């Protein structure tokens, strides 16, 4: 079975026309993964049993001429920091190497209900901290475009799996760029929804005020299918928003339509969702695009810049206006992120003490002979890798008495300024742009082992971190090639205008390339 460039639509049609059964499709992917995993190391665990059980159910439905949903029978890979009941969930860390998930994350419950076929768990930087998967305790992932290079991170396993056709779609998590940057490096779509759109229940927490689960896929349409299944309010995650968000999203779409005065506009029904909007092409003739100048300054690779500028030029054909805007606090985003994120990391990772979860350096008897504190200290020193320990120390420091206001307090204030700046450029009475276009990362995929200095590594997220701090939806989609390696274009939208940026991305996919 040929699995190259298989999309949800193609697989769905093939299943319905009985060109292949879901079991055949699932086995083909599982076999491909088994054959290739030595080469790319994208998967940490295969969930074969679960996948084949699900496939059998789908086959039975099809054999009874029952209709199947868009995601039903579709093979999907899951980042190994999202809990799938009864399967190992390592978060890429030695400290959780033998931890098995006691329950399903909300997104997994939703995927199972929609009939998706979960193939396995993908490799990642330890606890999602990193931009290359080199921080995984379970070995680096190789970029399918060039195996001497990194796939990006931290969702590198998910991005590589999609790029290598080892699954049709995948889930990743994005705290400061971990879905978008690997998407960019591997030449696939990576979407980070607005903070609060997707439940984090059952996602192993890194920095809870920033973490968000998002899909990786080959097309925007596939991205939308997955997003539509996983989105929505969840009582188990109080930061999720209810469906009124759809009102906000459609309100911003309606405002674009309204400008033309031809249809819909401000009188559209508030409950209208994107899918019910009649003609997407029409309204995007009125799209206003902002190009934030701070994203094109020093640090960006010249060839990447050229590719992005070309993609922006193509957008001019479909937009009513493309103009430069300014987000002056962008320069502080990375510094703010590296205070807020480690602060939350240090609190979230306090639970891994060698007693409650996974790995422990001491048996129960040894623990009583030595002190309990000793057991904690030893377990954490041996169980965590360098980057995780670095961040725990940084976080503990910025939260410590005497420094809390100077670091954490100040960072929160600058974070608020960054958010306000975005709101200003999207505000119709200020800049009034609908979306922003930027590069996803300043470079293409770098060589494994190339970035030894942690600061150099942190810089690869310089363009993805600001939208994370502001809680905005952002997507990376492939827009060109530099030295045979993919380049990603990032589209950032106003809060909860997730559907808008997905439709804008679709237009770009159709007419910009």
Q: Which residue's CB is nearer to ligand GLN, number 353 or number 461?
A: 461
The span of 136-144, 172-180, 354-362, 400-408 binding ligand GLN (CB under 6 A) equals 172-180
* Residue 380: CB minimum distance to ligand GLN, A: 19
* Residue 473: CB minimum distance to ligand GLN, A: 15
182 binds ligand GLN (CB under 6 A): no
174 binds ligand GLN (CB under 6 A): yes
Q: Which residue's CB is nearer to ligand GLN, number 300 or number 512?
A: 300
Q: Which residue is nearest to ligand GLN (CB)?
A: 178
Instruction: Report how far Cα 426 is from the mean position of its chain's Cα atoms.
Output: 23
Q: Which residue's CB is nearer to ligand GLN, number 129 or number 425?
A: 129
Using CA atoms, how far residue 256 sits from 18, 246, 253, in Å, is 42, 15, 5
* Residue 490: CB minimum distance to ligand GLN, A: 14
Instruction: Report how far Cα 200 is from the mean position of its chain's Cα atoms.
Output: 12
Q: Which residue's CB is nearer to ligand GLN, number 131 or number 199?
A: 131
> Facing residues of 341 across strands?
none
Using CA atoms, how far residue 283 sits from 24, 244, 321, 435, 491, in Å, is 42, 22, 13, 14, 17
* Residue 422: CB minimum distance to ligand GLN, A: 18
Annotate each residue in 191-230 with x if it binds ligand GLN (CB under 6 A) or - if it does not, as one string.
---------------x------------------------
Cis peptide bond N-terminal to 154, omega within 30: yes
d(C-alpha 68, C-alpha 263), whole Å: 34
Q: One of 61, 79, 142, 451 is an active-site residue; which one?
A: 79
151 binds ligand GLN (CB under 6 A): no
Q: One of 158, 178, 184, 346 is an active-site residue; which one?
A: 178
What CA dihedral angle connects 129, 134, 136 and 138, to 10 degrees? 170
The candidate with the shortest Cα–Cα distance to 510, out of 169, 281, 277, is 281
Using CA atoms, how far residue 406 sits from 33, 84, 336, 403, 412, in Å, is 49, 40, 12, 5, 10
Using CA atoms, how far residue 63 sits from 68, 111, 118, 240, 368, in Å, is 11, 22, 21, 38, 60
Q: Which residue's CB is nearer to ligand GLN, number 8 or number 411?
A: 411
Annotate each residue in 67-86 with x if it binds ligand GLN (CB under 6 A) or - if it does not, as one string.
--------------------
Q: Which residue's CB is nearer to ligand GLN, number 175 or number 330?
A: 175
Q: Which residue's CB is nearer to ligand GLN, number 70 or number 153?
A: 153
Q: Give the H/E segment covering residue 214.
A: strand 212-217
d(C-alpha 485, C-alpha 304), whole Å: 10
289 binds ligand GLN (CB under 6 A): no
Q: Which residue's CB is nearer to ligand GLN, number 130 or number 395?
A: 130
> Facing residues of 174 across strands?
212
CA R_g for the chain: 22
Question: Could you say which of 104, 126, 294, 461 contacts ligand GLN (CB under 6 A)?
Answer: 461
Q: Which residue's CB is nearer to ligand GLN, number 178 or number 224?
A: 178
Residue 79 annotated among the catalytic residues of the structure: yes
471 binds ligand GLN (CB under 6 A): no
* Residue 176: CB minimum distance to ligand GLN, A: 3
Residue 154 annotated among the catalytic residues of the structure: yes
d(C-alpha 440, C-alpha 54), whole Å: 36
178 binds ligand GLN (CB under 6 A): yes
For ligand GLN, the binding residues in 321-360 under the rule CB under 6 A are 341
Q: DSSP assignment of 32-61, as one string? A: HHHHHHHHH--EEEE-HHHHHHHHHHHHHH
Q: In what order do the strands lie in the sheet with 321-325?
A: 43-46, 117-122, 75-79, 169-174, 212-217, 189-192, 474-482, 485-492, 435-439, 288-292, 321-325
For ligand GLN, the binding residues in 106-135 under the rule CB under 6 A are 128-131
Q: Decide: 419 and 467 in contact? Cβ < 8 Å.
A: no
In sequence order, what E strands does 415-495 have? Answer: 435-439, 474-482, 485-492
Q: Which residue's CB is nearer to ligand GLN, number 246 or number 391?
A: 391
d(C-alpha 115, C-alpha 55), whole Å: 8
379 binds ligand GLN (CB under 6 A): no
- What's the token pair of residue 15? 């299943």
* Residue 175: CB minimum distance to ligand GLN, A: 3
* Residue 161: CB minimum distance to ligand GLN, A: 17
Question: Could you say which of 133, 136, 154, 361 contacts ligand GLN (CB under 6 A)?
Answer: 154
177 binds ligand GLN (CB under 6 A): yes
* Residue 373: CB minimum distance to ligand GLN, A: 29
- Show the CA angle centred on residue 99, arms to residues 96 and 103, nearest 5°: 125
Strands 75-79 and 474-482: unpaired
How many residues bind ligand GLN (CB under 6 A)? The answer is 13
Question: Could you say which of 176, 183, 193, 478 contacts ligand GLN (CB under 6 A)?
Answer: 176
* Residue 391: CB minimum distance to ligand GLN, A: 8
175 binds ligand GLN (CB under 6 A): yes
Q: One of 131, 132, 136, 154 is an active-site residue; which one?
A: 154
* Residue 319: CB minimum distance to ligand GLN, A: 29
The candidate with the shortest Cα–Cα distance to 129, out of 38, 211, 216, is 211
Q: Which are the catalytic amino acids?
A: 79, 154, 178
**Site of interaction with ligand GLN (CB under 6 A):** 128-131, 154, 174-178, 206, 341, 461
């Amino acid at each position: 079975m040929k699995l190259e460039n298989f999309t949800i639509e193609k697989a769905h049609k093939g299943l319905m026309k009985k060109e292949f059964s879901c079991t055949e499709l699932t086995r083909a992917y599982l076999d491909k993964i088994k054959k290739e995993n030595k080469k790319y190391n994208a998967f940490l665990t295969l969930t074969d049993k679960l996948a084949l059980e699900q496939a059998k159910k789908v086959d039975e439905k099809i054999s009874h001429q029952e209709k199947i949903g868009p995601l039903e029978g579709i093979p999907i890979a899951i980042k190994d920091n999202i809990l799938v009941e009864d399967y190992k969930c390592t978060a890429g860390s030695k400290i959780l190497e033998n931890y098995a998930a006691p329950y399903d994350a909300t997104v997994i419950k939703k995927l199972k209900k929609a009939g998706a076929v979960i193939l396995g768990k993908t490799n990642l930087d330890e606890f999602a901290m990193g931009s290359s998967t080199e921080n995984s305790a379970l070995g680096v992932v190789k970029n399918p475009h060039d195996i001497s290079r990194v796939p990006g991170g931290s969702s590198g396993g998910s991005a590589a799996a999609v790029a290598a056709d080892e699954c049709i779609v995948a889930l990743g998590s994005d705290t400061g760029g971990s879905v978008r940057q690997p998407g960019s490096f591997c030449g696939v779509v990576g979407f980070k929804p607005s903070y609060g759109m997707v439940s984090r229940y059952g996602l192993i927490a890194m920095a809870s005020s920033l973490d968000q689960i998002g899909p990786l896929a080959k097309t925007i349409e596939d991205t939308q299918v997955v997003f539509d299944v996983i989105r929505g309010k969840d009582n188990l995650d109080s930061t999720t928003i209810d469906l009124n968000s759809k009102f906000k999203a459609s309100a911003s779409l309606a405002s674009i339509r309204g400008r033309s005065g031809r249809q819909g506009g401000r009188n559209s029904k508030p409950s209208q969702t994107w899918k019910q909007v009649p003609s997407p092409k029409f309204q995007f003739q009125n799209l206003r695009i902002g190009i934030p100048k701070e994203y094109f300054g020093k640090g960006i690779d010249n060839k990447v810049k050229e590719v992005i500028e070309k993609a922006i030029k193509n957008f001019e054909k479909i937009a009513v206006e493309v103009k430069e805007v300014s987000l002056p606090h962008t320069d502080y985003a990375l510094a703010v992120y590296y205070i807020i994120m480690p602060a939350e990391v240090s609190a979230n990772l306090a639970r891994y003490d060698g007693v409650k979860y996974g790995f422990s350096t001491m048996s129960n008897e040894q623990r009583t002979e030595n002190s309990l504190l000793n057991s904690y200290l030893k377990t954490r020193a041996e169980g965590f890798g360098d980057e995780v320990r670095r961040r725990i120390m940084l976080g503990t420091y910025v939260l410590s008495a005497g420094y809390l206001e100077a670091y954490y307090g100040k960072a929160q204030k600058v974070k608020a300024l960054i958010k306000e700046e975005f709101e200003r450029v999207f505000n119709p009475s200020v800049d009034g742009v609908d979306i922003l276009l930027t590069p996803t990362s300043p470079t293409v995929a770098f060589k494994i082992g190339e970035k030894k200095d942690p600061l150099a590594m942190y810089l690869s997220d310089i363009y993805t971190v600001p939208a994370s701090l502001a809680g905005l939806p952002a997507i990376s989609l492939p827009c060109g090639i530099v030295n045979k390696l993919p380049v990603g274009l990032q589209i950032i939208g106003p809060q909860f205008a997730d559907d808008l940026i997905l439709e804008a991305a679709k237009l770009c996919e159709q007419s910009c390339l």
